[in-house]
Homo-oligomer: A and B are copies of this chain.
Amino acid sequence: MQFGCKYTWYFINRNNVALYILVIMKTIRNTASKTAILELITHSEVALSHVEIQKLTGDLCDRVTIYRVLERLINEDLIHKIATPDGTVKYASCHHHHDNHHHIHNHVHFSCEKCLSVTCLDSVEPSYKIPDNYLVKEVNFTLSGLCPKCI
């Protein structure tokens, strides 16, 4: 069998049933839009919304492309999505402050109600207790109020 893209065959034998699994590997491409948007987010002090990215990139690319690039960057684990308490979606770069014991992704953010900025608080480590019939995979901790600049 021949394919133009990269692929691998896996073989497993389960319950006397032979399975050949074809894994097609999608090659991720680097484009001008993608690198520019990632640059913007990683160099920004605060988390950025789609409209903010659109204004900052100007006519670099279509707004639909921005959506698709953001989606890809999330899949590649280069950025993460933040929802502010009012439901606005923002994007920030990942710093990978994982909980070493349980490999839980921690997101600690501060959302200023005055200037509407969202900042990652990498130094803050929240602690909590939860009934063990829940499986926690991600911790999303958003504090809101006034940031140092607006206080």
Contact = CB atoms under 8 A, between A and B. Distances in A.
B83 A85 contact: yes
* Copy total for this chain: 2
A57 B9 CA distance: 51
A8 to B, nearest CB: 28
10 nearest A-B pairs in the assembled complex, by CB-CB distance: A137-B145, A133-B148, A135-B146, A87-B89, A140-B142, A83-B87, A126-B128, A135-B145, A136-B145, A138-B144
Contacts of A39: none
A131 B136 CA distance: 26
B134 A147 contact: yes
Given A127-B127, A127-B128, A139 B143 contact: yes
